[in-house]
Structure 1
């Protein structure tokens, strides 16, 4: 009986290649960023332009790959039932610095249009909790995003 169960589980569990695992992590991170983008039900031109750049910076990928990942994440993100689906994979593999970088990217997206909606704020705070980040880290990443946004706003045209 135990041998039959073992064969059943071995037949139904797939070995995940390192490439597939890396892609799943990138997909989870992109989906988290999309959660912020769609939190206020508005995709602004600033957010749309910033999203691929944040993915290239945060996940070290090309802009073309980032755009493909965004399209894939849109389909995955729409069928997700909770943030936990994404954060559990990220928690298992990301370092503290990578989690902080992702949170910073989320804040940057939230402030891209010049205003923070309460829904964007809630998603980012919930994500920080699910990523086991301290409140001080949440505030630090928010302050960095605000400072970066001010710097962009004051740049000469």
Structure 2
């Protein structure tokens, strides 16, 4: 059963065009950013305001694409079972620097409303672990985000 599932996933992954792969990657990254935004069960105005900027800076997309991607990511987040389905996509295609940029964006979103909830912190730490980032990288990105928001 598991072997058949792996085979199905691999066959679909190989059939994807570069555009589809980029779309899936952007959707995965955007969904991870949304996890931080909704971690504390409230959408602060400051977080909503900088989310498009984080998508644009992290993924190199346009403003219109960021708005559309945010809407798609909300649905993907709602349908998701775990963070792994998104971090696996990111791990497959992002470099270490890209992962660090994503993590920095997550920290900036978490601090956007002036306070870090324990749930935001937990999501970011869990994501960093799933992205195979070192604890020192996690702390470095957090410190940069704190400096940028103060």
Alignment TM-score, normalising by the size of structure 1: 0.87
1:86 has 2:76 as partner: no
Where does residue 28 of structure 2 map in the other structure? 28
Cα drift, residue 46 of structure 1? 0.5
Superposed displacement of residue 143, structure 1 = 0.2
Q: Secondary structure at the match of 2:116?
A: coil
Name 1:104's counterpart in structure 2.
104
Unpaired runs of 5+ residues, structure 1, are 151-157
| Aligned positions, number | 142
Instruction: Give the match's secondary structure for 1:81.
Output: coil
Listed one character per residue, the Cα deviations across residues 114-139 of structure 1 (whole Å, up to 9, x for unaligned) are: 00000000000000000000000000
Give the Cα separation in 2 of the matches to 1:106 and 1:71: 18
Distance 2:27 2:77 in 1: 9
Aligned counterparts of 2:65 and 2:22: Cα–Cα separation in 1: 13
Equivalent residue number for residue 51 of structure 1: 51
Moved >3 Å (runs of 4+): none
Q: What is the Cα deviation at residue 53 of structure 1?
A: 0.3
How big is each residue's C-alpha offset from its partner over 1:71-106, in whole Å with a ceiling of 9 and x where there is no partner? 000001111000001000100110000000000000
Question: For the residues of structure 1 that align with 2:99 and 2:24, how far apart are their CA atoms?
Answer: 15
Establish whether residue 67 from structure 1 lines up as the match of residue 58 from structure 2.
no
How big is the alpha-carbon RMSD for the aligned residues of Structure 1 and Structure 2? Answer: 1.6
Question: CA offset at residue 37 of structure 1?
Answer: 0.4
Deviation at residue 27 of structure 1 after TM alignment: 0.1
**If you compute each CA radius of gyration, which structure gives the higher value, 1 or 2?**
1
Secondary structure class of the residue paired with 1:74: helix
- Provide the rounded CA distance (Å) in 2 between the counterparts of 1:19 and 1:58: 17
